[in-house]
Amino acid sequence: MGRALSLSEGRVELAHGAGGLATHQLVEALFLPAFAPTLAAWRDRGVVVDDDGVVLPEGCVPAGHRLVQSVDAHVVSPLFFPGGDIGTLAVHGTVNDLAMMGATPVSLTVAFVLEEGLPLAELQRIARSIGAAAVEAGVAVVAGDTKVVERGKADGCFVSVSGLGHVAPDVHLSGRRARAGDVVLISGSVGDHGVAVLSRRQGLELETPTLSDTACLFPLVRPLLALGDRLRLLRDPTRGGLATTLNEIAWASGVGFDIDEAAIPVAPAVAGACELLGLDPLYLANEGKAVVVCAPDVADTALALLRNHPLGGSAAVIGRVVDDDTRSVVLRTPLGGTRVLDWLMGDPLPRIC
Amino acid sequence: MGRALSLSEGRVELAHGAGGLATHQLVEALFLPAFAPTLAAWRDRGVVVDDDGVVLPEGCVPAGHRLVQSVDAHVVSPLFFPGGDIGTLAVHGTVNDLAMMGATPVSLTVAFVLEEGLPLAELQRIARSIGAAAVEAGVAVVAGDTKVVERGKADGCFVSVSGLGHVAPDVHLSGRRARAGDVVLISGSVGDHGVAVLSRRQGLELETPTLSDTACLFPLVRPLLALGDRLRLLRDPTRGGLATTLNEIAWASGVGFDIDEAAIPVAPAVAGACELLGLDPLYLANEGKAVVVCAPDVADTALALLRNHPLGGSAAVIGRVVDDDTRSVVLRTPLGGTRVLDWLMGDPLPRIC
């Protein structure tokens, strides 16, 4: 059956994406071992992964729950960075999108576009990261696809992950549900992921190395669902940062925001790196933070629930939703002034996720 | 709110993938109009597409049906070819994977990786192809994501599409279910897609231009589900061609195949092009053909059902499943000899889908 695959020395070849014997070997030797642990919970339920599609076990969506889907493509450069890699990022990105809908994540599909010449050892490291992040998030990797393009026609590895989850009948979170008087919280410090990737990319020697905050947010936000209708929405401020996420909500809900700059947690190392590089942490990507908007009477409870989880230790109330026909996000500065926080313009930091 | 987007003259910029204002404009002006028609059936059911994920309407999966997922990445070059483009291909690839499981397709997610500089007019054409193919297939495009990489770091446009479908309780198709005595059918001629893409790529002037067979196979194969347990499996012989698909089934089921070469339909133009180029049509990709394996007593019915649909007009019985510990696919040639059809080795035709 052709040459054996050397995972330690080999490189991705066009044949690995041709759908023939080499693809079959790659799946058997590299992907299935990496993803099998994610199927452990379904081991005795007859899930077959070598067909064109995968039939999920009966009962993996509770009766009466609605289905939720999401998708994220990842092109981060470099592929490996302090605190994570493109594999962990791809799982967290999609699982967090489900979690922000109040959904319990169930399963993922993974599609790779690989550049000819990528070391198989790097691909294996990425696949194992996907498997490990999926196990930690409690989701099954149920289907995958791999395409390979010629050297120079892609940049190492691009990964797209789609997710399926389910949401209870009484959960209706949406960016359209913010209303004047609501309170805005953030689950922790902003800008860590952006600085972590940038420091690796630029070879910066920061005094305090910053790790990406990439993490699965479902365990952090699940307790908030008990707040019922008074929890309005959840959002993870990834690309575009906190500033853009708030603008998206303002746009969708037809409201404005009154945000207290001093209340927004920023790690000292991130603040320092941003000053050095001329970046604004409010526009940097986060991969393990949630924006929470809730009714004022449950804001204290929401804050306590967030702080009760290790990922939410530095959670903070950062502002309020206000009536505003211009849908502006207004930042109150520590010196008592105000400035309008616009959407991210251009792309100061390409390929951050 | 920044510069307006010129869909006729503009090009993809890094900012379109940054998640800020330019991304928002691209989604509003280009993607939503292209995909909105796919949501028409759910128009009055409150589907919101501007959140991190999408909640599907209640009842889109019938009670008692199991969920099916699939995913395909597409990197075909060129992006546009006779009979289709990367958009139609991406929808059909994923919908057909669901159909081959006996599943009714419900919804798709779409992830783009774009190269800086791609004309927006081309992206719009691709997005509209996705929308049109999805409407024809009866599936909703519910979520998307777009990333942009620097000029030279990707090749125009890569698309990954994941699909969700549902399967009735009594349907259990799998590549593992072929058994000795079963009959093998193909729904039509092989090699068309491979020749169509290759002819455009090489600028070949073929006497009879060949169109890709890219098509949604669900309407073709749905009637076969009435055969119940005697329908063993369906497979679409895409990358790797018919030869590789038969090997995959032989491998998964632990059987061999006895195939009659003369019975395999090959269009004269495809046969001619293959002879000219030194290619074997049995290893060329198909994007609108199904391999059917069924019990012998329903083979005539299966053939009649296939031929009853426009996509199956040249359907044929091409061979049988046999006991064979070596899991070989043996081809009987018109001259009475035999040869073993192996898996596709290497990649004679990169980026065919």
Half-sphere exposure of A174 (CA within 13 A, CB side): 17
Q: Which of B326, B325, B305, B328 is nearest to B317 (CA)?
A: B305
| Percentage of chain A exceeding pLDDT 70 | 99
Query: Which residues 88-147 in chain A show a CB within 8 A of chain B?
Result: 96-98, 100-101, 103, 107, 109-113, 142-147
Q: Does the predicted interface ipTM exceed a cut of 0.90?
A: yes
Does residue B347 lie in a domain region?
A: no
At a CB cut-off of 8 Å and minimum separation 6, what does B205 contact? none
Q: Are residues A108 and A199 in the same domain?
A: no
Q: Are residues A207 and A86 in the same domain?
A: no
Type of residue numbered A319: G
Positions of E strands within B130-188: 140-149, 157-167, 183-186
According to DSSP, the β-strands at A157-167 and A104-115 are antiparallel
Does residue A174 lie in a domain region?
A: no
Q: Are residues A256 and A140 in the same domain?
A: no
- Token pair belonging to A331: 């930042």
Domain enclosing residue B20, as ranges: 14-51+63-167
**CB-CB: which of B50, B73, B175 is closest to A160?**
B73
- Token pair belonging to B109: 């997610």
Q: Are residues B275 and B161 in the same domain?
A: no
Q: Are residues A25 and A104 in the same domain?
A: yes
The CA distance from B146 to the nearest CA of chain A, in Å, is: 7
Q: Does A2 have pLDDT greater than 80?
A: no
Rounded to an integer, the average pLDDT of A16-43 is: 95
**pLDDT single digits (tens) A47-68:** 888 888 999 999 899 999 999 9
Rounded to an integer, the average pLDDT of A20-29 is: 95
Read off the CATH number of the domain in which B188 is found.
3.90.650.10
Which of chain B's residues have a Cβ under 8 Å away from the Cβ of A19? 238-240, 244, 285, 344
| Residue B281 contacts residue B244 (beta carbons within 8 Å) | no
According to DSSP, the β-strands at B104-115 and B231-235 are unpaired
Q: Are residues B232 and B145 in the same domain?
A: no
Read off the CATH number of the domain in which A39 is found.
3.30.1330.10
Q: Is B280 on the interface with A (CB under 8 A)?
A: no
Q: Does A1 have pLDDT greater than 80?
A: no
Q: Are residues A301 and A226 in the same domain?
A: yes
Collapsing DSSP to helix, strand or coil, A338 comes out as: strand
Q: Are residues B30 and B157 in the same domain?
A: yes
Count of other CB atoms within 10 angstroms of residue B256: 22
Cβ–Cβ below 8 Å for B146 and A72: no
Q: Which pLDDT score, from 0 to 100, does residue B3 have?
A: 66
Rounded to an integer, the average pLDDT of A167-179 is: 97
Q: Are residues B275 and B310 in the same domain?
A: yes
Q: Which pLDDT score, from 0 to 100, does residue B46 have?
A: 81
Does residue A5 lie in a domain region?
A: no
Does residue A4 lie in a domain region?
A: no
Does residue A57 lie in a domain region?
A: no
Q: Residue A29 and residue A46: Cα distance in Å, rounded?
A: 21
pLDDT lower than 50: segments of chain B: 1
Does residue A114 lie in a domain region?
A: yes
**pLDDT single digits (tens) B184-237:** 999 999 999 999 999 999 887 777 789 999 999 999 999 999 999 999 999 999
State how far the alpha carbon of A110 is from the alpha carbons of A114, A142, B50, B76, B152, in Å: 13, 8, 23, 18, 24
Q: Does A350 have pLDDT greater than 70?
A: yes
pTM of structure: 0.97
| pLDDT bucket at A3, cuts 50 / 70 / 90 | low
Q: Does A349 have pLDDT greater than 60?
A: yes
Does residue A151 lie in a domain region?
A: yes
**pLDDT single digits (tens) A69-92:** 999 999 999 999 999 999 999 999
At a CB cut-off of 8 Å and minimum separation 6, what does A203 contact? none
Domain boundary pick from B132, B167, B202: B167
Q: Which pLDDT score, from 0 to 100, does residue A208 have?
A: 77
Burial B114-148 (b: 16+ CB within 10 A, else e): bbbebebebbbbbbbbbbbbbbbbebbbbbbbbbb
Query: Which residues 310-339 in chain A show a CB within 8 A of chain B?
Result: none
Cβ–Cβ below 8 Å for B13 and A150: no
Helix H or strand E segment including B241: helix B241-253
- Token pair belonging to A56: 């999920």
What's the number of domains chain A is made of? 2
**pLDDT single digits (tens) A206-249:** 777 899 999 999 999 999 999 999 999 999 999 999 999 999 99
Domain boundary pick from B105, B135, B167: B167
The CA distance from A269 to the nearest CA of chain B, in Å, is: 24
DSSP A272-290: HHHHHHT--GGGS--SS--
Q: Which of A324, A312, A320, A301 is nearest to A260 (CA)?
A: A320
Rounded to an integer, the average pLDDT of A186-210 is: 90
Q: Are residues A312 and A202 in the same domain?
A: yes
Q: Are residues B127 and B203 in the same domain?
A: no
Cβ–Cβ below 8 Å for A149 and B162: no
Q: Are residues B125 and B264 in the same domain?
A: no
Domain boundary pick from B134, B167, B200: B167
Q: Which pLDDT score, from 0 to 100, does residue A303 have?
A: 98
Does residue A218 lie in a domain region?
A: yes
Q: Which pLDDT score, from 0 to 100, does residue B308 have?
A: 98
Cβ–Cβ below 8 Å for A235 and B52: yes
